[in-house]
Amino acid sequence: MTAGLRQPVADYLTVRRSLGFRLARPEKLLAQFAGYLEQAGAATVTTEHALAWAVLPGGHPSWHAYRLAVIRGFAAWLRTTDPAAEIPPAGLIPYRKPRATPYLYTDDEIAALIAAAGSLRSPLRTATYQVLTGLLAVTGMRVGEVIGLDRGDADLDDGVLTVRQAKHGKSRLIPLHPTTAQALRKYQQARDELCPRQKTAAMLISPAGTRLLYRNVQATWQLLAASAGLRPRSAECRPRIHDLRH
Which tens digit of pLDDT belongs to each residue from 185-229?
Answer: 999 999 999 999 999 999 999 999 999 999 999 999 999 999 999
DSSP-derived 3-state class of residue 173: strand
Largest CA distance in the chain: 66
| Per-residue pLDDT, 81 | 93
Task: Render pLDDT for 10-46 as a digit per residue (tens, 0 to 9).
Answer: 999 999 998 888 899 999 999 999 989 998 999 999 9
> pLDDT for 55-71, tens place per residue?
998 788 889 999 999 99
Question: How confident is the prediction for the chain on average, in pLDDT?
Answer: 92
Residue 96 pLDDT? 72
Q: How far apart are CA 82 and CA 5, in angstroms?
A: 11
- Cα separation of 105 and 103, whole Å? 6
Buried-exposed string 36-60: b where 16+ CB fall within 10 A, e elsewhere? bbbeeebebbbbebbbebbbeeeee
Q: What is the pTM of this model?
A: 0.68
Closest to 228 measured CA to CA, from 108, 62, 138: 108
pLDDT tens sequence across 91-145: 898 877 777 899 999 999 999 999 999 999 899 999 999 999 999 999 989 999 9
Q: Which of 237, 229, 231, 206 is nearest to 113 (CA)?
A: 229
